[in-house]
Amino acid sequence: MSKRETGVDYRKAGLRVGLEIHVQLDTREKLFCNCPTKLVEEEDDVFARELRPSRSEMGEVDQAAVLEWKKGRRFRYSSPRESSCLVEADEEPPHPMNMEALKIALAIALSLNMRIVDEVYTMRKIVIDGSNVSGFQRTSLIALNGWLEDEEGRIGIQTLCLEEDAARKISESEFEVHYKLDRMGIPLIEIATAPDIHSPEQARRVAFKIGQLVRLTGKAKRGLGSIRQDVNVSIEGGGKVEIKGIQHLYLIPKVIEYEVLRQTRLLWLRDELARRGLAKDSIRVEPVDLTEFFKNTQSKLIKKMISGGDTVVYALKLEGFKGLIGLELQPGRRFGTELADYARVWAGVGGLIHSDELPGYGISSGEVAEIYKRLGGDPERDAFIIVAGERGKVQKAIEVVVERVRVAFDGVPEETRGANPDGTTRYMRPRPGKARMYPETDIPPILITNELIESARRLVPESFDV
């Protein structure tokens, strides 16, 4: 997609992009145990866990971890005996760090002109989405403050970390996630660039160069999932947004282009709300119960959602928002889609319906007029949303939608989003903060000696001089 197609001048927009490149290392053993680093089909042992967030050493709790905990899900783990042991199951302390993996990480740091730390300390990064049985991922800072040459200028390399990969997700439902432990613990390096990238194509090029550099060591795994790219994107006046899980290199430019488009549209929305004379405090949690009204509806969707148990249909008026809930932020995704994402993630509902897409979903124009009447709304000026499902979830969804609509008055929220296969993105969770890190007390620090660096230097690719 070109500038002509998006209508965005990236330099004028103040685009800044930082990359996080994650690459699995092809070592003989995992990072903190002696299991082989290969994926297997066997399952063998199965066990379950429930996780909850813990406080950092400063007594703080990470909000991204709190969100995962509130989902209340159970985690089931398949533990193949060939590629996992008691360390992965969090029933045995970690073994000493894999020195082969450390030397590879040092070699890559040398290739990127980085300053290697004097001692390597292992930290625990809180992750309670179930992908780590212990509720945290072990990670170590290896080097910082490097650089990589690009045809548009030098790109800063902020950090290089060595960490253990997460478990492999097999299946997922509302109440349970199934993981496999063969991938958990495979050495993984994370290379984070400075936000020195100013165009989508430059981001793709830099990601390719970093991936190529790692693979030239001959110590990088290959295949789908062995290298993963996250991007941090911001524009002038917007917010820093982290987009995770870009599996393919060719998707990086499109993801960035669509994110710039989304932030530009959200800034337009902020300004349009001001032009309409609307105020944040006019958006209140005052839903109207329309359950009885919808008992005889022809909408199969609504009927299905209130077919059993303590289920309700709530509607919420959004004063002055006529035409804005249907504002397209990315191809096929509107502001209403953003609201639905928040409602799904925080409240567990299936989604929502908004007035800008009605009549539709079996809801007639007559029903739309009656909804406006019951809400005390003006069909020419106001909008509304409808949420149906279990009472507790619907009530929570209304609160979440109100909060997200209020944020629209400020512009672009800083958050973590997931990449979709078409390059668009979806809301995942708040951006994690410093409260998710605390020291690993089971692993002693490793002194980086000259002998260790010289041993690592032999792994530096010939095409990258240090």
How many whole angstroms separate alpha carbon 139 and alpha carbon 143?
A: 12
Per DSSP, the three-state class of 292 is coil
The pLDDT of residue 6: 56
Q: Of 255, 213, 189, nearest to 17 (Cα)?
A: 255
Residue ranges for the chain with pLDDT beneath 50 = 1-2, 4-5, 465-466
The pLDDT of residue 7: 63
Q: Report the helix count and the strand count for the chain, using DSSP H and E.
A: 10, 23
Per DSSP, the three-state class of 214 is helix
Domain ranges of the chain: 3-263+430-457, 279-408
How many whole angstroms separate alpha carbon 344 and alpha carbon 362?
A: 22
**What's the token pair of residue 73?**
């899900």
The pLDDT of residue 306: 92
The pLDDT of residue 387: 98
Q: How many CA atoms lie within 13 A of 217 on its CB side?
A: 30
The pLDDT of residue 466: 41
How many whole angstroms separate alpha carbon 444 and alpha carbon 95?
A: 10
Q: What is the pLDDT of residues 46-104, one digit of tens each?
A: 999 988 776 666 667 766 667 777 777 899 999 999 999 999 999 999 999 999 999 99
Q: What is the pLDDT of residues 390-436, one digit of tens each?
A: 999 999 999 999 999 999 999 999 999 999 999 999 999 988 776 67
CATH number of 279-408: 3.30.1360.30
Per DSSP, the three-state class of 176 is strand
Q: Are strands 288-289 and 187-193 parallel, antiparallel or unpaired?
A: unpaired
The pLDDT of residue 5: 47
